[in-house]
Structure formats: structure tokens, C-alpha cells
Amino acid sequence: MTDGLNRRQFLDGAAVTAAAGYVVSRGAALAQDSPNDKVVVGVMGLSRGKSLAQRFSQQPNVEVKYVCDVDSDRAAAGAKVLEDAGKTTKPIGDFRKMLDDPELDALVCAAPNHWHAPATILACSAGKHCYVEKPCSHNANEGELMVEAARKNKSIVQMGTQRRSSTSIQAAMQFMWDGGIGRVYHSTSWYGNVRGTINKGKPAPVPGHLDYDLWQGPAPRVPYYDNRIHYNWHWFWQWGNGELGNNGIHALDLCRWGLQVEYPIRVVSAGGRYRFDDDQQTPDTHNVAFEFEGGKSATWDGLSCNRHSNDFVTFYGETGSLVVDGGGNCRVYDEKDKVSKEFKGNQGDVEHITNFVAAIRSNDPKSLNQEILSGHKSTLLCHLGNIAHRTGRTLNCSSENGRIMGDEKAMAQWAREYEPGWEPQV
């Protein structure tokens, strides 16, 4: 915040007061700020990030000081969109420059998945808050580290599963938790699309407008191919998490939220690459199932190559069911399977950002609709589903933390190798 103490000044001050034997909570220092104080953010990764930058810039008294992309064409395009709307911003290529800026309050990370945890952890260590896109991590270990980094630095970290802030879904969930469909014991979820082939790629010169070294960042170096950047990295384990970590996370997060469950105790997977013989590694057809303590379960069916799919998320209770569509509209069905109630609404895109900015102003991580610990638990369902798929095994997990029990081979996929020098450190 630019009025009162900014975060860097507070941290410096905290170091001084700690050395002098005082304990000052960050909340106490930031209490000098009012709800109207300016919040300064920088956005990293400008495809999804371009629309996030626009939405942040439309929030009252929020400045998008930087738009950052390692593709200079995208950085320029991101800046132009804001400038056309009458805003001032700086296009940059290296996000570490904004973390060095004492005026910056928060990083908004919409870079590819392999960047989410390392960038968030660097942001927290620099005394910043972070809005990090879904899935919050590339692997399970990183999610645990992100929670640790947020706690250690007292950072406000929100994962970008925006439906958590949808007013219609919130109202429908409350109706369900109040007994509207009886005891809820199961949920199913779906995603369908008609994605094409990415063909077989060829090694190629790196385009002049792309800093491929910084694009790879924490991921071990591999040669540049002509069919992976942008977007298709989602289908390579090196950087992405397949459709499960791309669209499955949105639906499974709602399942976990509605069922009021934390970590699964059993995970199974079926599926494969059935449609195209190309370079993609992640399944194009994928079913995952999760069992939780207390007699509850959830499934997700992902069809990347067929759009005919079922409802986004359905909850099953003893006296009815609740359907949530992808747009945030909800319908309740009674025991005779007749619609008995509807909640019309929104996907929560703007509301999720408003919630994050308000949490910064009140310095209250508990007011976040998708705090990083909750984001990690939902993302973990995707990592476990992918590990079950890649090992071909049923995973038995601890209800305390989701860790895989009695299977070293599966647990070996809990973490990743890093490019030397880029290992996340909390």
C-alpha cells in the first residue's frame, strides 16, 4: 500500500523491532491503512493474465504498475490494452524486477503451471501478497511449500479458482449445507472440449520475441520445439498437469468444497491418450475417483476430444441433488428429480479479485475465499489423480495431509527435479 507503511517498509521495520526485542504483528502495522488505500499489483504471464490485469485495473484504487511477459509481443499487447483504457503501466520481461519494487503489494501469477509455486514463494519471501492461478502448483510438494511460505511471511495468497467467489454458488452451497438435499455423500464432475492435435514438433530456433530461458525458469532445460509454446505446454508433464490440472481443478475444487472434505483416503484413475498420435503426454480421456472419510466420494471425467459432456458438477444427497453449471448457475432437484429451486448467478471472476484486494486491505487471510491451504488441498486432488494415472496404481493416502502411504514409486512423483539454482526455498 502506498499510504501508511508499505510491506517492504513494514518488513524492514519488523526486522529492526524484532532485533530490539519487540514483537509487532503485521496486522498491527497495516492497521494504519484504510480500506480506500491504493493497492499496487504486477501481473506475470499475459494470456489469462491480460484479462486479470484488466479486471484488477478496474477495481477502485488498484494500480497495475507492471504487466510482465517473457514474450515481448505479449508484454506490449498487455500494456496496450490497459493504456487504451486510460491506465498507465510498464511492460517488463523479468518479474523479479517488480518484486524488487517496494511499492508493489502483490504479484498476480498467470504464467504456466511450472512457475506458480516458485514465483509465489519468491513473492512471499519478498514481502508481497500473491494471487496465483490454478492449479496453484506443478506438483504436490510445491503446494506444501507455498502454504509454508505464506505462513512464514504472513502473506495473503489466493488461488485463482474464481467460482469460490460466485455469489450464486455460495448461496447454493449454503442451501445444501443447511440440509437442502439431505446428507450429501457423492459428487460427479465433467469437462468436455474438442481440442485438436499438436502434431509432432521439430526443434526450432527460439523466436526473437521470446526469452525461452526465463520461460523455462525452474523447469530443467530442454531444447525449444515449434509446437509447445504458447498453451500446448499444458499437455507435457515437464510444465503442465494435463486437462485434470487445467479444467479439472475448477470442478474438483467445487466437489471438495461442497462435500466439506479435506484430503482423500483413496484415489484411482482410468484413461489414456486415445485420439491423436502426437507429442502430447497427458491423457485426453481421463476419469479419476476419490474416496474421503465419512462415507463420501467424488469423480471427474475429462474429455479433451469430445464436447458431449454431462453437467459441470452434481452433488448427490439423500433427499435430492444439486447441479452447478460452468457459468455458476445452480439447480436443485427434489427426490422425484424435479427442479425445486434455482440460483442464477455468475462465475465469480470479478468477485474473486475484489475478495483478494479486500483481504490485502484488511490484512486478513481468513477472509479469502480460496486461501492457499484450501487451494493446495484441491490442487492435490489433481496431482494425486495424475500420479494414480502415471503409476497405474490405486493410491492410499493419509487423511491428515494427503500423502501417499506404502507406495514409494508413487510417492516419488510427489516432487520434481529443478533447474539448478531455481529450487524453491522457503
Of 13-21, 25-33, 106-114, 136-144, the segment contacting ligand NAD by CB under 6 A is: 106-114
**Does residue 69 belong to the site contacting ligand NAD (CB under 6 A)?**
yes
Nearest residue (CB) to ligand NAD, 321 versus 379: 379
320 by Cβ neighbours in 10 Å (0-12 / 13-18 / 19+) ranks as buried
Of 104-112, 256-264, 284-292, 372-380, the segment contacting ligand NAD by CB under 6 A is: 104-112
CB of 49 vs ligand NAD, minimal distance in Å: 7
Separation CA 93–CA 210 (nearest Å): 9
Which candidate, 54, 51, 96, 50, places its Cα nearest to that of 73? Answer: 50
Question: Among 68, 121, 157, 267, which residue interacts with ligand NAD (rule: CB under 6 A)?
Answer: 68
User: Cβ neighbours of residue 136 under 8 Å, at least 6 residues apart?
Assistant: 116, 117, 120, 143, 146, 159, 372, 375, 376, 379
**Does residue 70 belong to the site contacting ligand NAD (CB under 6 A)?**
yes
Question: Among 11, 29, 110, 251, which residue interacts with ligand NAD (rule: CB under 6 A)?
Answer: 110
Q: What is the DSSP string of 262-314?
A: -S-SEEEEEEE--S--SS--S-SEEEEEEEETTTEEEEEEEETEE-----SEE
How many residues touch ligand NAD under the rule CB under 6 A: the total is 26
**Does residue 215 belong to the site contacting ligand NAD (CB under 6 A)?**
yes
Q: Return the CA Rg of the chain.
A: 22
**Does residue 72 belong to the site contacting ligand NAD (CB under 6 A)?**
no
User: Which residues does residue 315 pair with via DSSP β-bridges, in sequence order?
Assistant: 187, 322
Question: Among 97, 230, 390, 403, which residue interacts with ligand NAD (rule: CB under 6 A)?
Answer: 230
N residues, the chain: 426
Asked if 260 and 293 touch (Cβ cutoff 8 Å), the reply is no
Nearest residue (CB) to ligand NAD, 215 versus 315: 215
Separation CA 264–CA 290 (nearest Å): 6
Question: Among 42, 127, 160, 402, which residue interacts with ligand NAD (rule: CB under 6 A)?
Answer: 160
Give the CA-trace dihedral at 157, 122, 115, 136, to 10 degrees. -20
**Does residue 214 belong to the site contacting ligand NAD (CB under 6 A)?**
yes
Question: Among 38, 48, 186, 393, which residue interacts with ligand NAD (rule: CB under 6 A)?
Answer: 48
- In the block, cell 515437464 appears at 238
Separation CA 99–CA 71 (nearest Å): 19
**Does residue 71 belong to the site contacting ligand NAD (CB under 6 A)?**
yes
Nearest residue (CB) to ligand NAD, 181 versus 210: 210
Question: Among 10, 66, 115, 316, which residue interacts with ligand NAD (rule: CB under 6 A)?
Answer: 115
Nearest residue (CB) to ligand NAD, 175 versus 422: 422
CB of 146 vs ligand NAD, minimal distance in Å: 14
Question: Among 133, 144, 284, 301, which residue interacts with ligand NAD (rule: CB under 6 A)?
Answer: 133
**Does residue 105 belong to the site contacting ligand NAD (CB under 6 A)?**
no
Separation CA 17–CA 80 (nearest Å): 43
- Mark 5-44 with x for binding to ligand NAD (rule: CB under 6 A) and - for no binding: ---------------------------------------x
DSSP-based three-state secondary structure for 33: coil
Residues contributing to the site for ligand NAD (CB under 6 A): 44-48, 68-71, 74, 95, 110-113, 115, 133-134, 160, 162, 214-215, 217, 230-231, 246
